[in-house]
Chains A and B, each alone.
Chain A
């Protein structure tokens, strides 16, 4: 789940301005938040309180009603919206606070595709009665959670060593996605599209195509169980390698 913590987020927030301001000024100033911003995490927060840079990818005003502003914002992980609003009020010299906040996206998860605890409970009851249609819609394979990451597929005989935590070398790679950059968090799959592990790329996609040797991914989180795929016998000839 660490991958979600680092993924981009989208929120809908309701901001209350402490004084009335011209709508045009609100629009112009909010628009200026797009891009890099600097924040200090709020007093009550889970992280160390020191200045940090975050990126606002987009900000769309949905409604302005006098002192209340409803907006949608797409931002880098670790952006504090309450703080963004507080700082905005300070910048305009009128003060502002956040009245409501909903997260509408976290990486590949979108609010419009979400379910409630009641949905889950109902689906589970149906399932116990022999109807698994609903539960299959609600419980997704873990692969869903990493679909925002660049993918790499490896040969069958490479799976078990990755399952044991080994790093991935170029000879194990069957396919890979384009635009992988050095340092990117990547997801490694079997040729049956099962998630094996996550790791950090040490090479770009282009170089993996060109090179025949070398370490490609440093593994750091394994998902598949050991021994699902056969152990590679050293010295055994395999035409896939």
Chain B
């Protein structure tokens, strides 16, 4: 099987002390609005060859109308 090391490790959840969370604070990731996703979210972008990763970040900024976007690694070969 073609698996990277982290895909091979099957982890289980160990409970130290069970606790409840107060609904007053924070928000589950799946409850975030599109506006919140746009501000803090991630896009798995399939970059076309040509523009650099940096230029693609700029395109993403323009498309979403935001003033900050970054990328997580260029294809350095």
Seen from chain A, the residues whose Cβ lies within 8 Å of a Cβ on chain B are: 1, 4-5, 7-10, 45-46, 57-58, 60, 72, 74, 80-82, 98, 101, 103, 105-107, 109-111, 113-117, 120-121, 124, 127, 132, 135-136, 138-145, 148-151, 155-156, 159, 170, 173-179, 190-195, 205, 208-209, 224, 228-230, 240
Majority DSSP secondary structure for residues of B touching A:
loop
Given A46-B76, A80-B77, A177-B12, residue A194 in contact with residue B27 (CB < 8 A): yes
Q: B21 to chain A: closest CB distance in Å?
A: 4
Beta-carbon contacts under 8 Å, B11-51 to A: 11-22, 25-30, 32, 34, 37-38, 40-48
> Is the CB–CB distance between A174 and B18 below 8 Å?
yes
Separation of A224 and B36 alpha carbons in the complex (Å): 13
For A144, list chain B residues within 8 Å (CB).
Answer: 42
> Is the CB–CB distance between B14 and A178 below 8 Å?
yes
Q: B70 to chain A: closest CB distance in Å?
A: 6
Q: CB within 8 A of B48: which of A116, A135, A145, A205?
A: A116
Q: B26 to chain A: closest CB distance in Å?
A: 5
Given A60-B2, A117-B59, A127-B34, residue A109 in contact with residue B76 (CB < 8 A): no
28 of the cross-chain contacts (CB-CB < 8 Å) are A45-B76, A57-B5, A58-B2, A80-B77, A105-B4, A107-B6, A110-B44, A117-B47, A121-B63, A135-B34, A136-B34, A139-B34, A139-B37, A139-B41, A140-B37, A140-B43, A141-B37, A145-B72, A150-B11, A156-B22, A174-B17, A175-B14, A176-B13, A191-B21, A192-B28, A208-B16, A230-B25, A240-B17
> Is the CB–CB distance between B76 and A139 below 8 Å?
no
> Is the CB–CB distance between B34 and A132 below 8 Å?
yes
Separation of A80 and B46 alpha carbons in the complex (Å): 20
> Is the CB–CB distance between A5 and B73 below 8 Å?
yes
Separation of A149 and B6 alpha carbons in the complex (Å): 8
Q: A41 to chain B: closest CB distance in Å?
A: 9
For A138, list chain B residues within 8 Å (CB).
Answer: 43
Separation of A167 and B18 alpha carbons in the complex (Å): 21
B3 in contact (CB, < 8 A): yes
Separation of A225 and B39 alpha carbons in the complex (Å): 13
Separation of A194 and B30 alpha carbons in the complex (Å): 10
> Is the CB–CB distance between A81 and B77 below 8 Å?
yes
Separation of A179 and B70 alpha carbons in the complex (Å): 32
Separation of A45 and B74 alpha carbons in the complex (Å): 12
> Is the CB–CB distance between B45 and A114 below 8 Å?
yes
For A230, list chain B residues within 8 Å (CB).
Answer: 25
> Is the CB–CB distance between B60 and A117 below 8 Å?
yes
Q: CB within 8 A of A141: which of B42, B60, B64?
A: B42
For A224, list chain B residues within 8 Å (CB).
Answer: 26
